[in-house]
Amino acid sequence: MNTFITAASRRGPRDGKRRICFPITSRAYYGRSQLLIRKLHAHPAVDLELMLGGSILLDKYSHHIAAEIESEGFNISAPMFNVVEGGNHVAMAKTACLTALEFTNGLHATDPDVVVISGDRFEQLAIAMAAAYLNKTIAHIEGGDVSGSIDESVRHAITKLAHFHFVTNDEAHRRVLAMGEDPRYVFNVGSLDVERAAQVDATLTEAMVNRHGVGCVIDVSRPFLMVIQHPVTTEQENRAHLEATLRAVGSLGVPTIWFWPNPDAGTAEMSETIRHFREHHDRATANTRFITNVPVDEFVAMLKATACLVGNSSAGIKEASYLGTPVVNVGARQRGRLAAENVLHVDYDAAAIGAAIERQLRHGRYAASPVYYRPDASQRIADRLIDLELYTQKRFFDAAALST
């Protein structure tokens, strides 16, 4: 490659620091990575660069989070508009392509030593692909989990492009090794979400709930439900699935905080379903407060206070396991994921969902489970991102061959 081009396009000398790049494409990713990002930012041997893109710059909360990110003094580059409108699979696929196209430029210009890919969203695979073609060392957080949507495939595909793996639980650890990753580079560090949740000591107040969203006022001193049900992009029947939950929850008459789904393929129809249900079943939703988004600390405070979390959020599997929150997990999205005993799995069936919620209401809170928890998850990741020897050429690690 032309050395001039290289020189002209890339950030200056590193002064011996390791340049670590974090592509952040949604608010959730920022929230979950905050502890890690702060530790890397503070480390004298690290030149940290946040690359913002995707929906993080788009929703109406971006002012909020943008101000928050800026106030931390991070080095932020390449905020880009690369989300294609449409809210369907075609738009999602194109968003991934456009994101990868633009991050290719950004990664080439920034020239990082390590690119940190987080989770399983489609833009993250696209960015991992771009980083792989650019011959960067890729670190992946939260690989190895199983789940019930396209996320499952995306997560494992990222694993096969990544060089360092920070998994959150023993089963994921085993799977990443089975997939041929070198044990020297696979680390069970626990979940960043759970570490974050464990550090929250806020107690839920009425204001924390009722200053958000619209609908009934929630009395937090009495039992209340939380519902978070995202569309599952490989299923055609998101609408019917959501209605099952709406009916089940509506018929119980328990005060409920209902979170609107994340922006994603299928979201529009989910939102429409909720709106339609609200208009036609006003008694069923008379006890419901609809909320779009709350700060992480307040969300954790709600998880610690709720009588039961219903739906298919990963928070039910991860944060709730440690917080002891009773969970009714509905449908395929989290199916197969390692779960602690706080989770009851049910199908998209109003009666079954209702029965499971009642069972959880009777049971009450659970003991904290260690399945996703390690102390200092963020510190463990930071240490390795800083110290591990970089490499780019991967080779399938043949455990079976070794053992014979």
Which 144-173 positions form the footprint of a second copy (CB under 8 A)?
146, 148-150, 152-154, 156-161
Complex with a second copy: residue 93 or 388, whichever CB lies closer: 93
Cα–Cα dist 315/242, whole Å:
18
Minimum separation from the CB atom of position 97 to a second copy (A): 4
**Region near a second copy per CB under 8 A, out of 112-120, 176-184, 249-257, 279-287:** 176-184
Q: Rg of the chain's alpha carbons, rounded to an integer?
A: 21
DSSP 8-state symbol, 394: -
393 scored as a contact of a second copy (CB under 8 A): yes
388 scored as a contact of a second copy (CB under 8 A): no
293 scored as a contact of a second copy (CB under 8 A): no
Judged by CB under 8 A, the chain residues 204 through 233 that form the site for a second copy are: 233
Cα–Cα dist 106/48, whole Å:
14
**Per-residue exposure over 217-238, b if at least 16 CB sit within 10 Å of its own CB, e if not:** ebebeeebbbbbbbbbbbbeeb
97 scored as a contact of a second copy (CB under 8 A): yes
Which of 11, 38, 61, 79 binds a second copy (CB under 8 A)? It is 79
271 scored as a contact of a second copy (CB under 8 A): no
Judged by CB under 8 A, the chain residues 336 through 365 that form the site for a second copy are: 336
138, with CB counted inside 10 A (0-12, 13-18, 19+), is: buried
Q: Give whole-number Cα distances, 214 to 30, 66, 140, 183, 204, in Å.
A: 26, 24, 38, 49, 18
Q: Using the Cα atoms of residue 363, residue 365, residue 368 and residue 371 in order, give the sign of their dihedral.
A: positive
57 scored as a contact of a second copy (CB under 8 A): yes
108 scored as a contact of a second copy (CB under 8 A): yes
Residues 6+ apart with CB under 8 A from 3: none
Question: Count of residues binding a second copy (CB under 8 A)?
Answer: 85
126 scored as a contact of a second copy (CB under 8 A): yes
Cα–Cα dist 303/398, whole Å:
42
Q: Say if CB 247 and CB 284 are below 8 A apart.
A: yes
178 scored as a contact of a second copy (CB under 8 A): yes
282, with CB counted inside 10 A (0-12, 13-18, 19+), is: exposed
130 scored as a contact of a second copy (CB under 8 A): yes
109 scored as a contact of a second copy (CB under 8 A): yes
Complex with a second copy: residue 62 or 379, whichever CB lies closer: 62
279 scored as a contact of a second copy (CB under 8 A): no
Complex with a second copy: residue 367 or 401, whichever CB lies closer: 401
394 scored as a contact of a second copy (CB under 8 A): yes
Which of 17, 34, 38, 66 binds a second copy (CB under 8 A)? It is 66
63 scored as a contact of a second copy (CB under 8 A): yes
Complex with a second copy: residue 295 or 336, whichever CB lies closer: 336
Q: Say if CB 222 and CB 190 are below 8 A apart.
A: no
**Region near a second copy per CB under 8 A, out of 174-182, 249-257, 322-330, 361-369:** 174-182
61 scored as a contact of a second copy (CB under 8 A): no
Complex with a second copy: residue 224 or 372, whichever CB lies closer: 372
Complex with a second copy: residue 234 or 251, whichever CB lies closer: 234
Q: Say if CB 334 and CB 351 are below 8 A apart.
A: no
First to last CA, the chain: 44
Specify the amino acid at residue 257: I
